[in-house]
């Protein structure tokens, strides 16, 4: 099983070197998507000197979703079977990569999704209250609309819609038509995964918040604005995929997309 580890980064000079050193120890190829960093991140990446690390550079910040889409495309072009995505701010433990590899090797799922809420761990950090509330709200709404299509393997509803620590079957990702560039990427991702009837399983990951004040940027730091944005993207995608989804998925959203 050929596995690629894909790591989006944006201004991660504080963490990027130590994270990559730990990921390299796992023995897989690495793709770093530098999403227009303006700090020392590009310089640090240039100095790695390791052939196992490939870097894609965006000239400006194009968004988290765009970085993940680039990762899926690169994994397909590179002939990989699975691509594992993780963050570069030490909130995802490189030591957990083998857990995702083992779950992928079981060969009964198309998406192995990390969950910070599936199992409570003694060392877990307390999440910022507004982020936990938004995550819980969106996760519940995804389950209400799509749960019957997303629980084939795990046998239970999703517990964490936003964890970026995931293993993706590359051939399954090639079935999706993902276009969302920003932080609402998971909304489009889950709707399309349900429409394509992809098999999903969750595995537990640690809940780590090194920087609870980390910014989403601009108005998205306001939880009500962020929630409305997530709902709007989900609603648009539900309409787009309506022909492949059960009627229960098409309950009116609070924030319909423009022109809907």
**Verdict on whether the full-model pTM lies above 0.85:** yes
What's the confidence (pLDDT) of residue 149? 73
What number is the average pLDDT over the span 73-94? 92
Token representation of residue 247: 């009627």
Structural domains in the chain, CATH included, are 3-250 (3.90.550.10)
Q: Which of 47-56, 65-74, 120-129 has the lowest mean pLDDT?
A: 120-129
- The candidate with the shortest Cα–Cα distance to 113, out of 165, 61, 191, is 165
pLDDT in tens, 152-162: 655 668 899 99
What is the pLDDT, as a whole number, of residue 3? Answer: 97
Hey, what long-range contacts does 254-257 have (CB within 8 A, 24 or more apart)?
A: 254/228, 255/228, 255/229, 255/231, 256/232, 257/232, 257/233
Share of the chain above pLDDT 90, in %: 63
Q: What is the pLDDT of residue 60?
A: 96
Segment 169-204, tens digit of pLDDT? 999 999 999 999 999 999 999 999 999 999 999 999
Q: Does 93 or 216 have the greater pLDDT score?
A: 93
pLDDT value at position 260? 41
User: Cβ atoms within 10 A of the Cβ of 39, count?
Assistant: 13
Residue 20 has pLDDT above 80, yes or no: yes
* pLDDT tens figures, 126-145: 566 777 888 889 999 998 88
**Given the DSSP bridges, would you call strands 166-169 and 82-85 parallel, antiparallel or unpaired?**
antiparallel
Beta-ladder partners of 53: 30
Tell which wins on pLDDT, 83 or 225.
83
Tens digits of residue pLDDT in 221-251? 677 888 999 999 999 999 999 888 876 566 5
DSSP-derived secondary structure for the chain? --EEEEEEESS-TTTHHHHHHHHHTTT-EEEEEEES--SSHHHHHHT---TTEEEEEESS---HHHHHHHHHHHHHHTT-SEEEE--SSSSS-GGGHHHHHHHHHT-S-SEEEEESSSS--TTPPPPPHHHHHHHHHHHHHHHHHHHHHH-TTTSS--S-S----EEEEHHHHTT------STTHHHHHHHHHHHTT--EEEEE-----S-TT----GGGGSHHHHHHHHHHHHHHHHHHTGGGS-GGGGPPPSSPPTT-
Mean pLDDT of the chain: 86
């Amino acid at each position: 099983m050929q596995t690629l580890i894909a790591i989006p980064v944006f201004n991660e000079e504080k963490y990027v070197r130590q994270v990559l050193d730990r990921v390299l120890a796992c023995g897989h190829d690495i793709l770093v998507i530098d999403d227009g960093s303006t700090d020392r991140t590009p310089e640090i990446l240039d100095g790695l000197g390791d052939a196992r690390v490939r870097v894609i550079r965006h000239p400006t910040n194009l968004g988290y979703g765009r970085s993940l889409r680039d990762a899926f495309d690169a994994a397909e072009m590179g002939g990989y079977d699975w691509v594992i995505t993780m963050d570069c701010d030490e909130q995802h433990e490189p030591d957990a990569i083998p857990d995702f590899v083992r779950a992928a090797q079981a060969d009964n799922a198309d998406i192995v999704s990390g969950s910070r809420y599936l199992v409570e761990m003694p060392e877990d950090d307390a999440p910022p209250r507004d982020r936990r509330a938004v995550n819980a709200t969106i996760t519940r709404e995804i389950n209400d609309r799509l749960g019957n299509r997303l629980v084939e393997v795990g046998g239970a509803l999703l517990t964490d819609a936003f964890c970026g620590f995931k293993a993706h079957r590359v051939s399954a990702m090639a079935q999706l038509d993902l276009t969302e560039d920003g932080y609402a990427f998971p909304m489009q991702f889950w709707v399309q995964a349900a429409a394509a009837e992809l098999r999903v399983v969750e595995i537990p990951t640690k809940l780590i918040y090194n920087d609870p004040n980390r910014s989403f940027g601009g108005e998205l730091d306001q939880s009500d604005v962020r929630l409305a944005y997530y709902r709007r993207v989900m609603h648009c995608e539900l309409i787009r995929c309506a022909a492949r989804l059960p009627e229960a998925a098409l309950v009116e959203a609070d924030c319909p997309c423009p022109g809907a």
